[in-house]
Amino acid sequence: MFKKILIANRGEIACRVIKTARRMGIRTVAVYSEADSGALHVKLADEAVLIGPAPSKESYLVMDRIIAACKDTGAEAVHPGYGFLSENEEFARRIEEEGISFIGPKHYSIARMGDKIESKKLAQEAGVSVIPGHNEPISGPGEAVEIARKIGYPVMIKASAGGGGKGLRVAWNDDEAHEGFSSCVNEAKNSFGDDRVFIEKFVQEPRHIEIQVLGDAHGNYVYLNERECSIQRRHQKVVEEAPSPFIDAKTRQAMGEQAVALARAVQYESAGTVEFVVGADKSFYFLEMNTRLQVEHPVTEYITGLDLVEQMIRVAAGEELAFTQKEIKINGWAMECRINAEDPFRGFLPSTGRLVKFRAPAESRAVRVDTGVFEGGEISMYYDSMIAKLIVHGASRQQAIERMRDALNGFVIRGISCNIPFQAALMQHPRFQSGNFNTGFIAEEYANGFDASMVPHDDPVLLAAVAAFARLRYIERAVKIDGQLSGHGRKVTSEWVVVMGGQHYPLTVVRTRDGMSVTHGGDKTYDIVSDWSFGDQLLTGTVNGQPICLQIERHGLYYRISHFGLQVAPAVMTPRAAYLLSLMPEKAPPDLSKFLLSPMPGLLREVAVFEGQEVKAGEKLVVIEAMKMENILKADNDVKVKKIVAQPGASLSVDEVIIEFE
């Protein structure tokens, strides 16, 4: 067994590998860029080596520096994680040539399976059904349009070396095929250093289901059941679960045996994933093979009891698999939510900055948090948007959903925006709970975007009652302050009005022995018991004897509350103050229609218009790059450009003016 390994990655996956290595008694070496000098993986590793500036192409993608770090530290093996160089055949080959073990498949397996064009040909040779498409690299946008017409729209334009949703677009017409090809080429070149692109038919109403495989150097292969990955946004997975609510035992076996046959055909030695697109009739087609550890591997670990990182390390060290296919079982149900630094209420645009508060839910046998960040750390614009992965396990799918809802309630993140409200809304969506969904679920159910009204809550009066509880706790403290003028001290009244979401909730609040009793309308009573203290973002306790966990913060008269994804800001007032507030005129928001504002922090990659130009609605204005993704901003209406305020290459902040219109 290795004594020391180097992790050629960063963030959550680097921390994940370090934890298993430490449990196995293996020392670890972290590599880091200048932007990651204070990162968590650097703190956790036994040693750390600086490998370059912040951009990944100058640090995490530079093979020579990673190999030099191995030699300098005496690392015997390299774990590549996912992304970056994890599926780079040249990197694996060079590592092997240097006499260092690569904790992953052999370079020839990566070359054959990591290339999406070649892998489809090999899959056909191995008897695996594939999706119709054009499997040769495409030379330009014109050829892309021509091929798309022959295949028939809709088509999927994919970078051959792509992954993680980067270098991938769905085109429904000629314009989208032309534009999608250019975006895929640019993203692929920046993220993977390989700009080859191919096209295949986009199967409508598909499910994305993948099979986890393991192989060793002794000819042993197993499949570890399936993962359901159909809940996606912009082709990036949002929620994953294992097993799939759609797959039956017969289909599982058929998919698993095909996946193993493919792995055997390329002499695959390590953990890998064979992805399939599955139709409504349970017919399935080979999509691609990821020759690395997947982001969502924890759900498979939960239902099988195996540590996949440990298995990768043992296989790389030459050990045989210690189990057979018959010994692989399915224990309960696991679910994972990706907690990303993005604002769901602003079109899921990236959010970067400092994590002012970061408090993950308490871990247990049924709740796991994988992360590479910490409170006070920075979410950088140079890398992907993942903050953490929240994974839960239950005896059934319904129990897993309920545990995920509770865990999301207890996840406190401040300083940046995150997608927890959206994840919470998904957990409560009837269609998700039924298991009747496909990869188009988010696009269909949230076609016009996501807003607060889409977060259901079955008892808004409960939130008003909690706000009143917190307000009375503050007032009770104020009453005890010394030095108050006699006859003018703070008094505690029992009648209050909570103003929330344009509604007035009259409440009667009475102190009880263990907490407070809040009554609304004379018939709805909430007995709240909690040891919540001022300044604590989490309020835990019981309401009418049932456990509750929600987030609450005071902002003047307002109390920002988050519960099951819903975020409200109720004001707790006396009846007289609430009446006077109702008489106040509403202030109209400023007119910003004459400006194009940056909706996110990022790099202004391109300005597609010039001063004096008349632009039609739908035409491209600018391209902003953030977290390795290109975001195209288009004109909402017919406008004329008055002034270009920001120039290409500028680093933009949120709401910074880019263009002024006449």
Percent of residues, the chain, with pLDDT higher than 90: 73
CATH number for the region 109-129+207-331 comes to 3.30.470.20
Q: State yes or no: pLDDT of 497 exceeds 80.
A: yes
- Residue 16 CA to residue 575 CA, distance in Å, equals 53
Q: What is the pLDDT, as a whole number, of residue 556?
A: 81
Distance CA 272, CA 106 (A): 12
Whether residue 23 is predicted with pLDDT greater than 70 in this model: the reply is: yes
Q: Where are the domains of the chain?
A: 4-103, 109-129+207-331, 132-201, 339-454, 460-582, 595-661
Q: Which two tokens stand for residue 30?
A: 């972290």
Any idea which residue has 């009259």 for tokens? 506
The second-level CATH assignment, the architecture, of 132-201 is 2-Layer Sandwich (3.30)
Looking up tokens 């909706």 gives 599
CB neighbours of 139 closer than 8 A, spacing ≥ 6? none
Domain with residues 4-103, CATH architecture: 3-Layer(aba) Sandwich (3.40)
By C-alpha distance, which of 242, 186, 177 is closest to 209?
242
7-11, 95-99, 602-606: segment of lowest average pLDDT: 602-606
Confidence label for 333 from pLDDT (cuts 50, 70 and 90): very high
Q: How far apart are CA 335 and CA 242, in angstroms?
A: 7
Residue among 187, 200, 288, 630 flagged as catalytic: 288
Q: Are 339 and 426 in contact (CB under 8 A)?
A: no
User: pLDDT at residue 163 above 70?
Assistant: no
| Cβ atoms 225, 208 nearer than 8 A | no
Q: Which of 600, 229, 630, 567 is nearest to 422 (CA)?
A: 567
Closest-CA residue to 351 (of 424, 419, 446, 447):
419
CATH number of this structure's domain 460-582 = 3.30.700.30
pLDDT at 218 over 90: yes
DSSP symbol at 130: B
Mean pLDDT (whole number) for 213-230: 98
Residue 502 above 90 pLDDT? Answer: no
pLDDT exceeds cutoff 70 at 490: no
- The whole-angstrom separation of Cα 379 and Cα 339 is 13
Q: Do domains 109-129+207-331 and 339-454 have the same CATH topology?
A: yes
List Cα–Cα distances, 162 to 85, 106, 114, 165, 468, in angstroms.
Answer: 12, 19, 9, 7, 51
pLDDT tens sequence across 274-307: 999 998 889 899 989 999 999 999 999 999 999 9
Q: State residue 485's pLDDT score.
A: 77
Q: Centre a 10 Å sphere on the Cβ of residue 646 and count the other Cβ atoms it contains.
A: 18
- How far apart CA 573 and CA 567 sit, in angstroms, is 19
- How far is it, in rounded angstroms, from Cα 656 to Cα 662? 18
Query: Average pLDDT of 569-579?
Result: 94
* pLDDT for 216: 98
Tokens 């130009």 found at: 613
Instruction: Reply yes or no: is the peptide bond before residue 243 cis, omega within 30 of 0.
Output: yes
Quote the pTM value: 0.83
Mode of pairing for the β-strands spanning 412-414 and 495-500: unpaired
φ/ψ bin of 425: left (φ > 0), alpha (ψ from -120 to 50), beta (otherwise) = alpha
- DSSP letter for each residue of 569-619: --EEE-HHHHHHHHTSPPPPPP--TTEEE-SSSEEEEEE---TT-EE-TT-
Residue 384 has pLDDT above 90, yes or no: no
Q: Which of 15-24, 56-65, 599-608 has the lowest mean pLDDT?
A: 599-608
**Distance between CA atoms of residues 390 and 369, nearest Å:** 5
Q: Which residue has the tokens 């990022």?
A: 602
Between 194 and 214, where is the model more confident? Answer: 214
Highest mean pLDDT among 83-87, 163-167, 521-525 belongs to: 83-87
Q: Two tokens at 519? A: 């009554």
Q: Does the CA dihedral 327-329-331-337 come out positive or negative?
A: positive
Q: Which fold has domain 595-661?
A: OB fold (Dihydrolipoamide Acetyltransferase, E2P) (2.40.50)
Tell me what the mean pLDDT of segment 550-557 comes to.
90
SS (H, E, C) 356-400: CEEECCCCCCCEEEEECCCCCCEECCCCCCEEEEEEEEECCHHHH
Topology adopted by domain 339-454: D-amino Acid Aminotransferase; Chain A, domain 1 (3.30.470)
DSSP H or E stretch at residue 156:
strand 155-163
**Share above pLDDT 70 across residues of the chain, in percent, rounded to a whole number:** 99
Q: What residues contact 421, with CB distance under 8 A and at least 6 apart?
A: 344, 345, 452, 455, 562, 565, 566, 567
Q: Does 126 or 242 have the greater pLDDT score?
A: 242
Per-residue model confidence (pLDDT) at position 164: 65
586 is catalytic: no
Task: Determine if residue 13 is left, alpha or beta; phi over 0 gives left, psi from -120 to 50 gives alpha, anything else beta.
Answer: alpha
Mean pLDDT over residues 313-322, rounded?
Answer: 98
Average pLDDT for 507-524: 91
